[in-house]
Structure 1
Amino acid sequence: MVAVLLRLKVTLILNGFRRSVWQTIGFVLAALYALSVVVMVAAASVGLSFLPDDEARAWQVVCGSLVVLGWWLLPLLAYGLDATLDPRRFQQYAIPRRELLIGLALAGLAGVPGIATLLSGLATGLTWWDAPLALLGALVGAVLGVAVCAVGSRMLAAVVAPLLDWRRFREVAVVVVVVPIIMLAPLLGQVLDDVSGVDDWLPGVADVLAWTPLGAPWSIAGDIAGGSWLLALARIALTLATLALMLLVWGAALARTLERPPSRGPVAQAHGYGWFDRLPATGAGAIAARCLTYWQRDPRYAGSIAFVPFIPVPFIVFGGLEGNESLLWLGPIIAYIMGFAISADLAYDYTAFWLHVVSGVRGAADRAGRVIALLVVALPLVTLLAVGGVWAVGDWGTLPAVLGASLGVLLVSAGASSVLSATYLYPVQKPGEGLFAQPQGGTTAILIGQTLGIVVVAVLSAPTLVVFAVSLATGATWAAILTAVVGLVSGAVALVVGIRKGGAVIDRRGPDLLQRMAAWS
């Protein structure tokens, strides 16, 4: 049965290539990237062989712990990313639980990430190429470490599966897990700058991690190289005990998943018609109300902007808060991100767009309604961060320029997105899927769409941003006022033109757009 599950996984991967040439290209690119990572790990491991044994061990323990942690966080990040291993698909089959556990664990490694992790783990043995016993310990530790990655990931996926069915939990998970990861690089860079040397704290961190399931398997080779055989045996025992415990927990969670129906969480009580009660009963008003409901309840919308309030963190970490003039650019940057958030708004509708087609709603009303919903969300946030940046710098004379540039970029970005979302459709996550679910064949199309949007918004916003830069450089009042005028006027023109042009595309190609979206299923 284990072999059957492995063959099933491989067959599903190969069959996916037949559905989309872009998926094949994406797989090849991912494989090449993974191969480059393995080569870099191997080269780094050879480099560590020239360091003292305790330093090499410290680096391997810390880096290996980060890899294990990444695998364990995968169930929260990749909800809906790969449903081929969903245990509920095997509810109707009398498969012994032990074989199902082993099969799912091994099948979870049957892919680019799993193979790359295994090869990278084995490559760490190159650090101990001149010590045969330590090399053998490194290979044993790599196998155990990868097993901890695979079993821990599947165990946590089974444990949190009932919670992941709750939309609110997925939204919170995105903020709690993804945002710290986004901020990790700048914060880590600042920490490394402030610490006198890595050698001062890395060994201590490694010693702590080596007594945890995260770092224990990666410490075995270093312990053997240092002659600490009892410590090496203790690490092996700790890792094996961890695997046994995780298998027990996973088995219990799997039994619950197979024997009990999934729960969608508590059902909220509806009171009135929400945004439909607050907006006018027009085509644009109804679409705006529906879109605002999506912004409030659809995790695809909420997740796409969940990190926006945290964008100031790198600016503050590197430049401080008081007198940091780079904070004056926060408003335009966030304005672009918020305006571009509706660049795939039509694709998010998926086949529900049929209602717009059959009801004969004007394309301009469709575009205007989506922009209204966006501005209800974006205007307060952009204004708040723009004023906050001016407050932090303490130069209130720049406020007209900052607000003018921020609002101008927001309107330009919204206008460009109104055209782009109607003229350039690409596959996105379907309703109900996780934020990180990757539609087949959509990677390259998304990359092209994002690049096109950046170029268009940059060109249309160039006059405003140039005058804004002059205003900040000179501090002249006339430049600040000119920035506000140019930003608001150019933004208003771009928005009106974008709504009309995008609306004309929908009026002309509405049924064709619906047919293209229906073909994504």
Structure 2
Amino acid sequence: MVATLLRLRFRVLGNQLARSPWQLVGFIFGAAYGAAVLAGIVAGLVLLGFGDLQLASGVIVGAGSLVTLGWALVPLIAFGVDTTLDPDRLVVFPMTLSRMMVALALAGVCGIPGIITSAAALATIATWAHWPAAIVAWAVSIPVAVVTAVVASRAVASAAAGLGSGRRFREASGTLVFIPLILAGPIIVGVATGFAVNADTIAEAVTVLGWTPLGAAWAVPAAAAAGDLVGAGAKLLIALATLAALWLLWRASLARSLVRPRQTSAAPVPVGSIGWFGRVPTGAAGAIFARSLTYWVRDPRYLRQLVGAPLVPVLLWFYARDGDPLVALSFSGPIIAIVIGIVVWADISYDGTAFGTEFITGATGRADRLGRTLGAAAVALPLVVLAVVLPIAFSGEWEQFPGILGMSVGVLFTCYGVCAVTSAQLVVPVAAAGDNPFKRVPGTTFLQGMAFFGIWLVALVLSAPAVIVGTIGFFTQNVTLSLIACALGIVVGSGLLVGGILLGGSLLDRTAPALLARLKAMKNA
């Protein structure tokens, strides 16, 4: 049964790649990138073997601890990362819980992250081969280290799903975990500046990690190479105890989740209340506007796109705190505009097959483009204007307000104009409604990421005139240039927005059937 499930996993992957040549190309690019990274790691481990033992131990134990921590943290951001073998779907198979756990663990090892982790862990022999006493310890401890990382990921995912069986808990926890990831740079810099980071402190930290569940398995060969056989044995016992504890935790939480499915709930709604649909103008564009605004207000997949917006001023202040933070904060508006303006580049994807309901009503593509743009702008435009007003209010340089406002509005409108065209042609795999918004779904490719950055670049280029004029006017304190940037940003941005809605609407009238077919294919994948 375990072998059958593994074959099923690779069959699903093969079918996904065969369905789309672009997915296959993206997979090849991703695999080539992973192979290049792995080659660099192997080369580094070979060279590390020619250094001293303290350096080799510090690098391998420190990096290994981070790898284990990374495996454990990923499920907090993306519930059910491997959606090919979902425990909720495997419950109908005639198999014991232990066999299911073995199958899920092996599937984790056979995935791309598992293969890279396993290959890099095996490659540490190139380092430890210079100390013969470490070779036996390596053969025993490295498999434990890799399996511990995979089991930790599964155990945390299963435990988190059990603790957050409610949909809102899963959504909120995934969003909250995303915030420290955005602030990771300032947090790391703050810790580094708060402590004297040097070779001695790093060595002390690595020594401590070697006695923790994170680094014990990775530290066994280092202790053996140093001649500390008692220490190596003790660390191996810690590693085995950690693996056993994680396995038992996973088993208990998985057994509980399989007999107690995740709960869903709906808030009570007063009779006759139709939300935004009763507050906006009627007609196709108005209905799509109301639906889009409802998504932006209530759907966590949309709300997560706004998480980074309030953090932009925090990051700007942090990196400019040694100079004049108000200067950096003055550009919060344009940066927030480019961050949240581009997120609708393929927003029909979030409709799923429900897009068919709109399609069969006969709504025009122009009405769709207009309604979606109004929904997104109703949320984004107040945030952008607030980001423009507050820094200027603190600095008191109101003569620069027109330029910053023109840049911000111009960038936002330009992004919406570009996305009105791209989202009429592109649909991409996204988390389904009700799933964690950070969940990675099968079918995402490297080329989709490249397409996103290409669209971002186009929007930046088209909005560059207003940004360049406004920036020059800001730093030269030229009021005339500030006014020109305001007019340029609003006029050009509005023109591009109108043009994007018209062109995108015309394209959508022709591409809607194909988009719906692709959405249905992704749902059935």
What is the TM-score of this pair, normalised by structure 1?
Answer: 0.91
Assess, with a 3 A threshold, how the Cα gap between structure 1 residues 172 and 204 changes in structure 2: closer, same or farther.
farther
Instruction: Tell me if structure 1 keeps the 8 A contact 2:285–2:370.
Output: yes
CA displacement, residues 55-109 of structure 1 (integer Å, 9 cap, x when unaligned): 3322222211110111112223333542222222332334233233223212221
State the 1:350 CA deviation. Answer: 2.5
Assess, with a 3 A threshold, how the Cα gap between structure 1 residues 452 and 152 changes in structure 2: closer, same or farther.
closer
Assess, with a 3 A threshold, how the Cα gap between structure 1 residues 460 and 33 changes in structure 2: closer, same or farther.
closer
Aligned to 1:113: 113
CA RMSD, Structure 1 to Structure 2 (Å): 2.7
Q: In 2, Cα distance between the equivalents of 1:131 and 1:216?
A: 19
Aligned to 1:74: 74
CA displacement, residues 463-493 of structure 1 (integer Å, 9 cap, x when unaligned): 2112112212311111111111111122222
Q: 1:347 aligns with which of 335, 346, 349?
A: 349
Partner secondary structure for residue 345 of structure 2: coil
Amino acid at match of 1:285: G
Q: In 2, Cα distance between the equivalents of 1:424 and 1:101?
A: 38
Q: In 1, Cα distance between the equivalents of 2:240 and 2:74?
A: 22
Q: In 2, Cα distance between the equivalents of 1:85 and 1:515?
A: 25
Matched, 1:338 2:337: no
Q: In 1, Cα distance between the equivalents of 2:51 and 2:397?
A: 51
Partner secondary structure for residue 109 of structure 1: helix
Amino acid at match of 1:323: D
Q: In 2, Cα distance between the equivalents of 1:262 and 1:424?
A: 32
**Range with bigger deviation, 89-98 or 342-351:** 89-98
Partner secondary structure for residue 95 of structure 1: coil
CA displacement, residues 293-351 of structure 1 (integer Å, 9 cap, x when unaligned): 11122222122332232233443332217613333332112112222122212232232
Aligned to 2:144: 144
Aligned to 2:206: 206
Partner secondary structure for residue 250 of structure 2: helix
Amino acid at match of 1:109: V
State the 1:186 CA deviation. Answer: 5.5
Q: In 1, Cα distance between the equivalents of 2:19 and 2:507?
A: 29
Q: In 2, Cα distance between the equivalents of 1:424 and 1:367?
A: 14
The percent of aligned pairs where both chains have the same amino acid is 38
Instruction: Tell me if structure 2 keeps the 8 A contact 1:322–1:394.
Output: no
Partner secondary structure for residue 424 of structure 2: helix
Instruction: Tell me if structure 2 keeps the 8 A contact 1:321–1:392.
Output: no
Amino acid at match of 1:414: Y
Q: 1:372 aligns with which of 340, 362, 374?
A: 374
Aligned to 1:302: 303
Partner secondary structure for residue 311 of structure 1: helix
CA displacement, residues 433-476 of structure 1 (integer Å, 9 cap, x when unaligned): 44345555552552353244224312321221121122123111
CA displacement, residues 219-239 of structure 1 (integer Å, 9 cap, x when unaligned): 112222222222211111111
Partner secondary structure for residue 330 of structure 2: helix
Aligned to 1:409: 411
Partner secondary structure for residue 423 of structure 2: helix
Aligned to 1:495: 497
Assess, with a 3 A threshold, how the Cα gap between structure 1 residues 294 and 81 changes in structure 2: closer, same or farther.
same
Aligned to 1:188: 188
Q: In 2, Cα distance between the equivalents of 1:277 and 1:397?
A: 41
State the 1:146 CA deviation. Answer: 0.6
Instruction: Tell me if structure 2 keeps the 8 A contact 1:80–1:433.
Output: no
Instruction: Tell me if structure 2 keeps the 8 A contact 1:179–1:307.
Output: yes
Q: In 1, Cα distance between the equivalents of 2:32 and 2:86?
A: 27
State the 1:165 CA deviation. Answer: 5.3
CA displacement, residues 117-162 of structure 1 (integer Å, 9 cap, x when unaligned): 0111122232222211123323433211111101111111221224
Partner secondary structure for residue 307 of structure 2: coil
Partner secondary structure for residue 331 of structure 1: helix
Instruction: Tell me if structure 2 keeps the 8 A contact 1:126–1:135.
Output: no
Aligned to 1:399: 401
Aligned to 1:65: 65
Aligned to 1:278: 279
State how 1:166-315 maps to structure 2 within 5 Å: 166-185=166-185, 187-188=187-188, 192=192, 197-264=197-264, 266-271=265-270, 272-315=273-316
